[in-house]
Amino acid sequence: MTIRLLRTLVAVADAKTFSAAAQIVHVTHAAVSQQMQTLEADLGVALFDRSSRTPELTPIGRLIVDKARTLIADYDNLVPSVLGDGGLTGVVTLGVLRTTLTGLTPKAVAALKTKYPQIGLHLRPGLTVSLLADIERGNLDAAIVSKPHLMPVGLVFREITHEPMQLITALEEPDNDPVELLSTRPFIRFNRSEVVGGLIDEWILSKRLRVDETMELDSLEAISSMVQANLGVSIVPRLAVPPQAGAEVRAIGLGPDAPVRTLGLVHREDQVKTRALDELYAAIMGVLDPV
């Protein structure tokens, strides 16, 4: 039995299928199947019920997955827990919102790596809900997310910044009234399963607006490109750290009651890589308020 096999087992438990787990651990479907057979032989127990089309964990398999999560966390933190540097030589797995990938995240990571080149960073983009779930499962050490209405128990939210929503239009759009534009132009919606999408939806409903929804996307770059092509208007966050380059669009404020996204760094309360995460948080805040 090896840590590698346990990581694959946990990936199967989280992803539900061997094929999806293979993408997580970067091996083939056949390799995942072979690893699980090896693990079952090593442990002398059946981890999966293979009578169904999709192998399902047996009761003992689920118990072993719970223990495996603890063993993997202990293994990952073995060296940091005994080093005097508090873990500044380990690897941090960081989930990030796609809207931060062209501004905040690369600048913060660059600042951290400049100061602590020995820290390894593995980035995984995603949506807030899925990133929070991965932190709870132990698949991520931390994540930059939008603050949800309810924070899962056991997680810590460290506020980074507030980003008010704004309307964006094509440069040639002559109108400046956001309500008029939303009522008369095609609307390109931010993915409503994301926290930002929910905030925008609530604001539109509060204004009793009827919008002509034509697209629903979860990429700010894709939305901006569609707006630049004059295919509609959209509501997006005004990024605290804008990208170096991007689609050329016109931004219009939504007024004093505009919805606001709160960005934060989230990690588990029992996270042991506290020093590395403290330095990551400091790097993020330094990007927002450079000295």
What pLDDT score does 60 carry?
A: 92
DSSP states of 66-135 as a string? HHHHHHHHHHHTHHHHHSTTSSTTSEEEEEEEGGGTTTHHHHHHHHHHHH-TT-EEEEEEE-HHHHHHHH
What secondary structure letter does DSSP report for 265? E
pLDDT per residue rounded down to tens, the chain (291 residues) = 788 899 899 988 888 888 888 887 777 888 888 999 999 999 989 999 888 777 789 999 999 998 888 888 777 666 555 555 555 667 889 999 998 998 999 999 999 999 888 888 899 999 999 999 999 888 899 999 999 988 888 888 999 999 999 999 999 999 999 999 999 999 999 988 888 999 999 999 999 999 999 999 988 889 999 999 999 999 999 999 988 777 789 999 999 999 999 999 999 887 778 888 889 999 999 998 655
Considering only CA atoms, which of 262, 242, 97 is closest in space to residue 168?
Answer: 242
Considering only CA atoms, which of 241, 238, 242, 217 is closest in space to residue 227?
Answer: 217
What pLDDT score does 150 carry?
A: 85
Q: Which residue has the tokens 């809207």?
A: 99
For CATH 1.10.10.10, the residue range(s) in the chain are: 3-76
Q: Is the domain 83-162+262-288 a CATH 3.40.309.10 member?
A: no
CA dist., res. 183 & res. 188, Å (int): 12
Considering only CA atoms, which of 14, 234, 220, 193 is closest in space to residue 99?
Answer: 220
CA dist., res. 154 & res. 86, Å (int): 22
Instruction: Count CB neighbours of 45 within 10 A.
Output: 13
Which residues neighbour 87 within 8 Å (Cβ) at sequence distance 6 or greater?
77, 79, 80, 81, 272, 273, 274, 275, 276
Assess contact for 217 and 186: CB atoms under 8 A.
no
**Domain range 163-261, CATH architecture:** 3-Layer(aba) Sandwich (3.40)
Considering only CA atoms, which of 163, 159, 195, 164 is closest in space to residue 281?
Answer: 159
What pLDDT score does 86 carry?
A: 54
For CATH 3.40.190.10, the residue range(s) in the chain are: 83-162+262-288, 163-261
Token pair of 247, please?
A: 């689609």
Q: Phi-psi bin for 138: left (phi > 0), alpha (psi -120 to 50), beta?
A: left
Which amino acid, one-letter code, is at 61? Answer: G
Q: Give CATH for domain 3-76.
A: 1.10.10.10
Structure-derived torsion over alpha carbons of residues 213, 215, 216, 222, reported in degrees to the nearest 10: -140
